[in-house]
C-alpha cells in the first residue's frame, strides 16, 4: 500500500515557463484527493491522464487566486460530465461564499452534492478519518488564513500466518491475534503465542503538504517524522527579505524544516517567476537537506508502506 503524490502545478502567482499554479493529486489506497486547484488544473489533469471523476475530496489551502481559481471551472466540468457522486470540499472561511456567488450570477447549479467544511484551529487536527487512513489540517503563517494538510496511512493489524494457525480458532481469537494479542486456553494459559503465528504489521506512513508560509519552526513539533514533505520554496536566500515581506519561504528554509522534522524526502515547489532555471533553488536546499527534489509537473512521488 502506498501514498502517491502527482505534481500538477508548481508555479507561484502566475503560469510561466510552462509551469502552472499550484495543484497536486494525492492518492491514498483507492481514494483520489485534489490539493489546491490553481488556474488550469483541469487541463493538467487531462494532460497527465488523471480522471477528474475519481476525485472524491478537494482541499484548498487558502484563498489566494493561484491556489483556487481553477476550482469552479473544474466543478462545472464535473457537472457537465454528469457527475452524481458527492464531492467533499475543504477550505478556509470564505470559500463557500466565493463558490456560491459565482453560481448565483451565472444562474448555475450542480447536479451532484457538494459538502463543504471550513477549516479552523491553531494546531494539527483531524478533518477526515477512515479505518485505514486519515487527513489532518494545520495552520501555516501567511498573509491570510492558510492551512497545510497531512495524509496518513495508518499502521495495519498484524498479518496471520495461515500455515501455522490451528483450524479450530474462533473469529474472536483470530481477531485477537491480528491485534497482537496471545490466545489463551480455558485455564488461562497461553495456547498460542502471537509472534509464532503472525507477521509484523505495516508501519504508519505520511505525506505532509505545506502550502504558502513563512519559515515556521513549530511545524517540526506537529509533523516530525513524516515520510514525505512538500514545502513551498518560492525564493533563494538572495531574496530572504522579500520572502519575509510576502510571508513565503526560501529553499534553504524549506530544507531546514525538513531537516528539523527528520523527514525522508522533501519536495520543493511554488517557484517564483524570477527563476526560469530551478537548479539554484535545488542546490540551496540540498546544501541543508540532501534529500531535496524539485516538484516538476508530471512527476510522481511515492511513499510505500511496506
More confident residue, 164 or 287: 287
Cα angle: 220, vertex 88, 100; to 5 degrees: 110
Confidence of residue 173 (pLDDT cuts 50, 70, 90): low
Domains parsed from the chain with CATH numbers: 2-156+202-304 (3.60.15.10)
Q: pLDDT for 236-263, tens place per residue?
A: 999 999 989 999 999 999 999 999 999 9
| Active site residue ranges | 66
Q: What is the pLDDT of residues 136-150, one digit of tens each?
A: 999 999 999 999 999
For the ranges 92-101, 114-123, 195-204, the lowest mean pLDDT is seen at: 195-204
Q: What is the pLDDT of residues 225-236, one digit of tens each?
A: 999 999 999 999
**CA-to-CA distance for 71 and 53, rounded, in angstroms?**
14
User: Which has the higher per-residue pLDDT, 222 or 288?
Assistant: 288
| Inter-residue contact 5 to 301 (CB < 8 Å) | yes
As a whole number of Å, the end-to-end CA separation of the chain is: 7
User: What is the residue whose three cell numbers read 466540468?
Assistant: 77
Amino acid at each position: 500500500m502506498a501514498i502517491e503524490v502527482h505534481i500538477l502545478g508548481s508555479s507561484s502567482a502566475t503560469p510561466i515557463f510552462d509551469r502552472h499554479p499550484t495543484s497536486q493529486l494525492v492518492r491514498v489506497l483507492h481514494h483520489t484527493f485534489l490539493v489546491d486547484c490553481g488556474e488550469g488544473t483541469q487541463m493538467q489533469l487531462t494532460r497527465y491522464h488523471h480522471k477528474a471523476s475519481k476525485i472524491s475530496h478537494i482541499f484548498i489551502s487558502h484563498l489566494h487566486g493561484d491556489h483556487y481559481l481553477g476550482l469552479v471551472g473544474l466543478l462545472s466540468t464535473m457537472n457537465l460530465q454528469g457527475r452524481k457522486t458527492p464531492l467533499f470540499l475543504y477550505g478556509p472561511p470564505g470559500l463557500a461564499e466565493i463558490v456560491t456567488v459565482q453560481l448565483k450570477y451565472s444562474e448555475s447549479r450542480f447536479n451532484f452534492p457538494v459538502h463543504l467544511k471550513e477549516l479552523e484551529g491553531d494546531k494539527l487536527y483531524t478533518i477526515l478519518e477512515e479505518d485505514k487512513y486519515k487527513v489532518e489540517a494545520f495552520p501555516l503563517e501567511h498573509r491570510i488564513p492558510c492551512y497545510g494538510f497531512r495524509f496518513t496511512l495508518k499502521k495495519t493489524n498484524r498479518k496471520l500466518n495461515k500455515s501455522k494457525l490451528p483450524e479450530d480458532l474462533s473469529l474472536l481469537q483470530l481477531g485477537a491475534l491480528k491485534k497482537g494479542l496471545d490466545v489463551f486456553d480455558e485455564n488461562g494459559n497461553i495456547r498460542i503465542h502471537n509472534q509464532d503465528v503472525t507477521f509484523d504489521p505495516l508501519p504508519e506512513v505520511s505525506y505532509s503538504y505545506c502550502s504558502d508560509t513563512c519559515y515556521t519552526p513549530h511545524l517540526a513539533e506537529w509533523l516530525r517524522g513524516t515520510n514525505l514533505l512538500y514545502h513551498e520554496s518560492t525564493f533563494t536566500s538572495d531574496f530572504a527579505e522579500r520572502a519575509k515581506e510576502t510571508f513565503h519561504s526560501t529553499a534553504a528554509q524549506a530544507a531546514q524544516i525538513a531537516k528539523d522534522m527528520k523527514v525522508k524526502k522533501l519536495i520543493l515547489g511554488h517557484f517564483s517567476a524570477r527563476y526560469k532555471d530551478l537548479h539554484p533553488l535545488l542546490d540551496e536546499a540540498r546544501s541543508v537537506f540532501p534529500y531535496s527534489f524539485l516538484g516538476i509537473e508530471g512527476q510522481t512521488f511515492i511513499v510505500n508502506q511496506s
